[in-house]
Chain A
Amino acid sequence: MNSTFLLNIFRFVILLALQIVLFNNINFLGFVNPFPYILFIILYPVNGNRAGLLAASFLLGLAMDMFLNSGGVHATACLVLAFFRPSIFKFAFGISYEYQTVKIADKFSPERFSFILIAVLLHHMVLYLLEIFRFNFFWEILWRTLLSTTFTLLLCFIIIYLIKPSKR
């Protein structure tokens, strides 16, 4: 039991609780809710256990589904994000990812921004695609994804930069 493991469990619980108690009740414009709980997947250590990440994200999504009565929508979206995380890393950070020196929650930089943007976008796209599940709502899906992504992104950055400096 090292501290990263405990920190991750702590993050898992806190983000899930915040999501359910607070962020699911925002309903901006009646239907837009941010999903900053995926910060758990984004902030997971770069060189951490991949199987662990997959299992944890699946459980995180499943817990969300239980609370929201949404079948397996969140579980799928989280799982897809967790699986493609290394590819997004490679895309966003290029060669420095190979040396495992990336820290996501650090000073603001275009690489970090693009990483979080792509991660959030991917998660939300899968989420709304599965949630709506009907092709005649195509524009609805795009519109919701776009609005929610902006909202989530904003909150992710606020959370990261509010909390991180105190820990160092």
Chain B
Amino acid sequence: MQQIINFIFKNSIRLLFLLLLITSLTLTIQSHSYHRSQFVSSANDVTGGVYQRINNVKEYFHLRTQNDELAKENAYLKQLLYNKPDTVIASTELIPRGYEDIKVIQSKVIKNSFNVPENYLTLNSGSKDGIKPDMGVVNSLGIVGIVEKTSKNFATVQSILNVKSQINAKIKKSNHFGSLIWNAKNVGYAQLIDVPRLASVRKGDTIVTGGRSVIFPENIPIGKIDKIFIDKATNYYTINIRLFNDMTNLGHVYVIENVKRKEIIKLEEETKPDE
């Protein structure tokens, strides 16, 4: 017994080091391996509050581009509004009852990141505003990411610039599906993999979100085809996509909730064992 106590006493520094090392390594490996497993995230009151303050100042530097973007989107929406067949119908009655599948919550990015392989954004609205994990995040130009974790006032978003992110996407013209990933090389480009060889793809074709995802509605713009590679081993295309969105300059975003998502997932889970 005496010896054990002596040993612990003599090696206390080393033991403390090992203990802390194991803790931190566990956190690291967890954040790399599993979906949504971060204990340590910026969606808490302290870090979120700090980023909110910083953003209050930084916002002013991007006001012009943000305003342009919002004005452009407004013009587009007005165009839709004025071109509808009957201008008398009030906007609240545009969507028939029972068909309100998609809910949109307005939010703002207060912390952006794009310089590491696993990028996360922080939004300034959280569960208080109705944001839940696995909701889609878009802005007027296109897709941004998926909500990963929420607290009362803040939410973290897994950016599409994250090597863990995998989003169902399709070629708008031909409806061929693929998965959108990021190879951590360039912030302006993402990759579409697993597109079958019989799809006709051409440079400049538009890529949009596919309908197989329960997170994003169909046909949200992602980007344009920039380069096409043929994967010799698998007979699939790997396509380089120039993103519509400038991921280094994000401001106002919309969080999209698919109201029927739970129903779809539940149904799919019930079906699976019988396959």
Contacts and interface: CB of A to CB of B under 8 A. Distances in A.
Interface of A: 20-21, 27, 30-33, 50-51, 54-55, 58, 61-62, 65-73, 75-76, 79-80, 83, 130-134, 137, 140
A65 B40 contact: yes
Q: Which of A55, A71, A137 has the most CB of B within 10 A?
A: A71
Nearest to A28: B115
Contacts of A69: 38, 40-42, 113, 118, 120, 122, 156
Nearest to A140: B184
A79 B24 CA distance: 9
B17 A79 contact: yes
A70 B42 CA distance: 9
Interface in B1-42: 12-13, 16-17, 20-21, 23-32, 38, 40-42
B230 interface: no
Contacts of B118: 69-70, 131
Contacts of B51: 67
Given A30-B115, A76-B24, A71 B17 contact: no
Interface of A is mostly: helix
Given A21-B54, A70-B40, 13 more contacts: A27-B248, A30-B187, A51-B13, A54-B13, A54-B20, A55-B20, A61-B24, A67-B42, A69-B42, A70-B118, A71-B32, A133-B32, A134-B163
A67 to B, nearest CB: 5
Given A54-B13, A131-B116, A62 B40 contact: yes
Contacts of A134: 117, 163
19 contacts: A20-B54, A30-B187, A31-B114, A51-B16, A62-B40, A66-B40, A66-B41, A67-B50, A69-B38, A69-B40, A69-B120, A70-B31, A70-B116, A72-B26, A72-B28, A73-B28, A75-B28, A133-B117, A134-B163
Contact of A31 (B12, B23, B25, B115): B115
A35 B4 CA distance: 40
Interface of B: 12-13, 16-17, 20-21, 23-32, 38, 40-42, 44, 46-47, 50-51, 54, 113-118, 120, 122, 156, 163, 184, 187, 248
A54 B16 contact: yes
Contacts of A71: 27-32, 38, 40
Contacts of B44: 66
B115 A27 contact: yes
B117 A50 contact: no
Q: Which interface residue of A20, A55, A69 has the most chain B CB atoms within 10 A?
A: A69
Nearest to B58: A25
Nearest to A59: B20
Contact of A67 (B30, B47, B114): B47
B242 to A, nearest CB: 16
Contacts of B21: 76, 79-80, 83
A32 B28 CA distance: 21
Nearest to B156: A69
A68 B112 CA distance: 10
Nearest to B158: A69
B17 A54 contact: yes
Most chain B CB inside 10 Å of its own CB: which residue of A50, A70, A132, A140: A70
B114 A72 contact: no
Closest 5 CB pairs of A and B: A71-B31, A72-B27, A75-B24, A69-B120, A31-B115
A83 B17 contact: yes
Nearest to B121: A69
Contacts of B23: 58, 72, 75
Interface centre among A61, A72, A137 (most CB of B within 10 A): A72
Contacts of A76: 21, 24-25, 28
B31 to A, nearest CB: 3
B159 to A, nearest CB: 10
